[in-house]
Chains A and B, each alone.
Chain A
């Protein structure tokens, strides 16, 4: 690694001539400040460069290509799989300074923006024009569009509206050798050549640095209606989910909280939630006002038929907000129970949700660790959160085993390791549980073709071996 740091020293000297020296940093403080993401892992970079233009991004990559040091793209550092951690040292390339919304095109319903725009800022800007950018990761108030693209982020609205990949029309990408390609554009249909646009979506910053994105927008739905339903047994909730969809209604969100989530939220906020209930569903319909009313009525009926013990239909947005408070409070509530929470992100076929939850409950007992489950029931994306203590070595060893057991169970039920957080560093050892050796080899081959020198975000996604 000392080889790299001396190379980076030279690079810093040269970069300071090309880029405002105030944005080329290698002080001990700056290195610490860009050494973490939301996994709370820590890897010190040798230097930090805050790019303000695609030209600066290209300059850094050209130099890395010439001198041979790793470059790790970084958005807001809210990733949950270690994607922006400089595990092999080198330069962290910070993109938050490129935060212009360049154009909101109402006619073509598209927005052109730089990668550092905060997701919520983009949403607010297009909503002012009566338009709608649906992807809504819970971190939307502080993560970036670049990070969303690189992780293919999703959120509660994914059930009806899909995830980030479904809104990408065009990208400008700087490749590892410093050359720039533009893929796609404002056109909605495009079959010219391979669909490489999507290759970069979810590529976790390993194939290129996204410097501009053109994103598809929808008309802003004028109305929404929110319901909450409680079920004594988890299976009833699962039945309700299936029945709602079978009844021809696609709610925009269908969120599930398990008994522990309900319990800890109740401990924290005292909202009067029934602690004995095994599951709570928060369901939201959106669209034209008449349409949402009809959908809500149908959802309510179906939930009652499935055996809901309690059902609330919010009359106005203030009431809806109160229902969402319970869901939003899950993270704060469980963060207070034990020092560390480790959130996983498995995704199983919808029908397998009850089986998956029961599996996790068994794992909980086997390893003696409290595991809280909540997530997006509509698309089978569950977030089992293990409550533990990062500083307790013995317990962390058990946590590792529990995580592996959860992954194995998910794959066995026809699911996958990660629905939306990515593989990055934290899950790369488990890649083989899900992908065949041939599939992994294919991905490695693509990586090798795009980044032969292995300088862009090395050591991510694929465990061990060469990048």
Chain B
């Protein structure tokens, strides 16, 4: 009596994989959203059951189903926990695409994704505007003007210069922007394509600068450029735009032997291009080659650019010329750094050891492990904006784990995490704890 499935072959092709799910429930134990809500529909098992019902025709697509499918951080913890190897997140993405969830996003977000992020010039412009705000102290003004709790928190997380211990009012001069980069750089070993993610350009230009510095010290010149990687579109089911952006990026980086990025999410997406364009006659081979050339900056530096102690001043000498910008941060003898694994780095790209190796090699820095370091922080890209409460809830658990490890600084490798961790710590009353990108600790 069941009506024939009204769904496209694109969703249908996952049916066999869906059948592999034996409803064991292991993914519920791994899902940060389930831990928070205890709601089956939040874990992969429930979402897969809904997709299966959609395909069977026993459930009509509608807002209820769409809401469950939208409630996912795409953190891939479920995929990792699944003994049967069910490609959970791929199926969730395919279902989002099928239900055209993109169309159901709030207007402002859609505008951002398709109007701004697809245009590099606009992203750069917005980045400069935000940078200006940061310098002019507009954040403090905004804090007073903006209503509610979320936006002031977000605003502060976005605009506040990283408040480092002992940095005092002069925090802006903290990073050695003007510390004579050329004097530190070795003769170039070559030039890499530096994929500057939109979020870093917009919100954390200090990270982009630190990345270029770290690359320079390892002897690499960086050619910064990008179109949006397409992840936000892909995640919300707008595969068409994602594919278009993929093709543009492949062309943009055609002449570089290595494509390096400091955004975990962009990196994961760029490595996914091979898959995304597998059925594109013209671009499939190019995409495959492109994805193989992509490296996260920590991956690249750990393999290529082992820092050369001869050429570096010791980053954190116990005493030294007070003029060195790093010093007031590192007044303490040893700095305890807790590293949070971004989902898109740890599970998305299998990069867990490299950032830890780089950090552990920084003199004066002690790497401390927090409980569940690779559990999602709750940022989930735009999830942070679409599911305020839930994201805050997941962040609360993360902040607890961080604070229990007692670090002086929190380190991670993704702008989404930087933002969410900062907000979670602010909520926990520890907005003073610096949250930095791995590369920011390498080049000091």
Contact = CB atoms under 8 A, between A and B. Distances in A.
Nearest to A97: B38
A252 interface: no
A32 B49 contact: yes
B372 to A, nearest CB: 11
B19 A142 contact: no
Interface residues on A, range: 35 or more
A428 interface: no
A76 B28 contact: yes
Contact of A32 (B20, B21, B59): B59
Contacts of A426: none
A336 B85 contact: yes
A38 interface: yes
B205 to A, nearest CB: 41
A135 interface: no
B50 to A, nearest CB: 6
B297 to A, nearest CB: 30
A390 B19 contact: yes
Contacts of B26: 139, 141-142
Residue of A33, A77, A94, A141 contacting most chain B CB atoms (<10 Å): A33
B4 interface: no
Nearest to A98: B38
Contact of A335 (B16, B22, B64): B22
A32 B41 CA distance: 9
B25 A38 contact: yes
Nearest to B19: A339
A37 B45 CA distance: 10
Contact of A50 (B25, B38, B65): B38
A123 interface: no
A77 to B, nearest CB: 6
B40 A33 contact: yes
Given A27-B64, A116-B38, A336-B84, A32 B25 contact: no
Given A36-B23, A340-B22, A29 B65 contact: yes
Contacts of A77: 23, 25, 40
A38 B22 contact: yes
Contact of A141 (B20, B29, B50, B53): B29
B49 A36 contact: yes
A356 to B, nearest CB: 25
With most chain B CB atoms within 10 A of its CB, the pick from A97, A139, A335 is: A335
The A contact surface, by secondary structure, is loop
Most B CB within 10 A of own CB, among A29, A143, A341: A29
A238 B435 CA distance: 57
Interface in B62-76: 64-65, 68
A40 interface: yes
A28 interface: yes
A33 B49 contact: yes
A34 interface: yes
A38 B46 contact: no
Contacts of A341: 22
Nearest to B65: A29
A332 B85 contact: yes
A139 B64 CA distance: 30
A96 B16 CA distance: 30
B25 A143 contact: yes
Interface string B1-36: 000000000000000100111111110111000000
Contact of A40 (B23, B28, B38, B41): B23
B23 A38 contact: yes
A229 B39 CA distance: 43
B40 A34 contact: yes
A331 interface: yes
A78 to B, nearest CB: 4
Contacts of A94: 38
Interface in A110-157: 116, 118, 120, 139, 141-143
Interface string B222-255: 0000000000000000000000000000000000
Given A141-B29, A341-B22, A96 B38 contact: yes
A391 interface: yes
B162 to A, nearest CB: 33
A39 B23 CA distance: 7
B254 to A, nearest CB: 38
Interface in A377-429: 390-391
B53 A32 contact: yes
A339 B18 CA distance: 10
Contact of B59 (A28, A78, A336, A340): A28
A139 B40 contact: no
A332 B83 contact: yes
B68 A29 contact: yes
Contact of B41 (A30, A38, A116, A118): A30
A339 B84 CA distance: 9
A139 B24 contact: yes
A53 B156 CA distance: 39
B278 to A, nearest CB: 23
A27 B62 CA distance: 11
A99 interface: yes
A193 B93 CA distance: 58
Nearest to A340: B22
A327 to B, nearest CB: 13
Given A335-B20, A335-B85, 16 more contacts: A33-B68, A35-B49, A38-B25, A40-B21, A40-B23, A76-B28, A78-B25, A139-B24, A139-B26, A141-B30, A331-B83, A332-B84, A339-B16, A339-B19, A340-B19, A341-B22
Would you list the 5 A-B pairs with minimal beta carbon distance, nearest first? Answer: A142-B29, A332-B83, A33-B40, A78-B25, A141-B29
Interface of B: 16, 19-26, 28-30, 38-41, 46, 49-50, 53, 58-60, 64-65, 68, 83-85
Interface of A: 27-30, 32-40, 50, 76-78, 94, 96-97, 99, 116, 118, 120, 139, 141-143, 331-332, 335-336, 339-341, 390-391
29 contacts: A29-B59, A29-B65, A30-B41, A32-B53, A32-B58, A33-B39, A33-B50, A33-B68, A34-B40, A37-B25, A38-B22, A38-B24, A38-B25, A39-B23, A40-B23, A77-B40, A78-B25, A94-B38, A118-B29, A141-B29, A141-B30, A142-B25, A142-B29, A331-B83, A332-B83, A332-B85, A339-B20, A341-B22, A390-B19
